[in-house]
Amino acid sequence: MGREFFGTDGVRGLANTYPMTADMALKIGAAAGRYFRSGGSNGHRVVIGKDTRLSGYMFENALTAGLTSTGMNVLLLGPVPTPAVGLLTTSMRADVGIMISASHNPHHDNGIKFFGPDGFKLSDEAELEIEALIASEIEPAQAVNIGCAKRIDDGRFRYAERIKGTFPHGCRLDGLKVVIDCANGAAHRVAPDVLWELGATVIPVGVSPDGYNINEGCGSTSPMTAAETIVSHGADVGICLDGDADRIMILDENGKVADGDQIMALFAQRWAAQGRLNGDTLVATVMSNLGLERHMQSLCLHLKRTNVGDRYVVEAMRAGGFNLGGEQSGHIVMTDYATTGDGLLAGLQFLSAMTETGLKASGLTTSFETVPQLLKNVRFEAGQTPLEAAKVQAVIADAEAKLVGKGRLLIRKSGTEPLVRVMAECEDPDLLAQVVDGIVAEVEAAV
């Protein structure tokens, strides 16, 4: 059976447009309720968190209606980071956790992500079973068994305490001036609080959500505001989160951005030196820079690549017993502490490296020299299949031939947006631009 609703990170799309409508959210909630109630063992309980999008209210209510109609009891967390939902699903002994968010996307998009009772994102198999239930006639609970809903007011405080517990005991951030950009998203209250409680001088950015400004000109996908703030305030470091705070970009004292690859390289090297990098292996996706792979090899460490999507990174980590992985986009997964990517957790780990080494942020964000990489996106309409066009396939084949022994090429459809992503790496910048622009031109012609 094909996947109609679920992409690489739950169900996602334009709010109030199929499949992200209130009616579909109700059906998705009912299907999830029926799926987990039939096999659940935790009192038919579900926790729901959300980010700060205006449409979050609509989806929260619709999901609650669907879930309670099948006998699930709903615990509403309000605005909390995605990793908080993974954490609280397990700590509150729930059968399932749900996060309403479209992550780094603009406010008009939204999404629904699921976590199992172990706090990890659902497998492809589980999502397919829920899809089958959506398409079927879902049996409601008897009137006496309808679930109830309850607002949980201290969810972010529980998460904050767990996150602070990952910071080295006895270590403080006194004397560090930290810019924290929360993307007007789910961490706009908890992230500045945690940093302040650990002793940092906090300069907050993107902490005034209005339902529309999430990720708008701020956050991990738009770090320029944070960079300017670092320079103007003479800050030591910047931490940029995305809308649901499961990814991060680090900015040094000069406002220069370090992506997920550089952060993972730093953590892998430190953990290996401390004897705590399981299997001497870092798990990353096919999007990670070739320079990261070469750096790991130079340290006699291993890089295991997966498909794009932090859930696939986590699946490979669990299968191999590895404890560090992530994506170039800033999802950093540390299963010693969390079940999913956690931007604030990664930020604290970076700050602990600063305090322990005494180095400036710039001394920790350039672990390796990157191979020139170029990524361009082409948007397409529903029903279009541009990668199947003969001319597109021909130009891709030609590009692959030109890059043999010189670099690599990756063409894929986004799992969260209607985009074709064209990425190449090559030491020759002219050849790099030539192959990427050639493919993009043909894909644009096909759509």
Q: What residue type is assigned to position 279 of the chain?
A: G
What is the sign of the dihedral through the CA atoms of 89, 92, 94 and 97?
negative
Instruction: Check 103, 220, 288, 367 and give the catalytic one.
Output: 103
d(Cα 221, Cα 281) in Å, to the nearest integer?
28
Beta carbons of 314 and 325 less than 8 angstroms apart: yes
Q: Is 275 left (phi over 0), alpha (psi -120 to 50) or beta?
A: left
108 class by beta-carbon count within 10 Å (0-12 exposed, 13-18 middle, 19+ buried): middle
In this structure, what are the phi and psi dihedrals at residue 336, rounded to the nearest 5 degrees?
A: -65, -25
| Sequence-ordered list of residues with C-beta below 8 angstroms from that of 219, at least 6 positions apart, any chain | 104, 181, 182, 183, 184, 185, 206, 240, 241, 242, 243
Tally Cβ neighbours within 10 Å of residue 255: 18
To the nearest 10°, the Cα dihedral for 59, 64, 65, 67?
Answer: 120
Residue with tokens 């361009």: 376
Strands 73-79 and 45-50: what pairing?
A: parallel
Half-sphere exposure of 191 (CA within 13 A, CB side): 40
Residue 220 falls in the annotated catalytic set:
no
Residues acting as catalytic residues: 103
